[in-house]
Amino acid sequence: MFAYTWPLLSLFWTFLMFAGIFLLLFFVIWCFIDNFRRRDHHGLAKAGWTVLILLIPFFGALIYIIARPADAQLSS
């Protein structure tokens, strides 16, 4: 009965949507972790990036990745 109400293509799209949501969540969490581990900006900059990522998660994280310098020092 369940197979008739949820065809294979719908199952595929459901798995694809769950994978996309998982990847988006992982990307945003990784940006938070990277933001708080950086030593090249402090206090207000970290708070600003946090607010931006929280308010608009995908675009905030994308802007963060584009704007951050690649060769900045990270804490070890």
Contact (Cβ atoms closer than 8 angstroms) between residue 28 and residue 43: no
- The pLDDT of residue 41: 81
- The pLDDT of residue 32: 92
> pLDDT, tens digit, for every residue of 32-45?
999 998 888 888 99
Cβ-based burial of 36 (10 A; exposed 0-12, middle 13-18, buried ≥19): exposed
**pTM listed for this prediction:** 0.74
Question: Could you give the percent of the chain with pLDDT greater than 90?
Answer: 53
| pLDDT value at 8 more than 90 | no
| pLDDT value at 74 more than 70 | no
Neighbours of 30 (CB within 10 A): 12
- The pLDDT of residue 75: 52
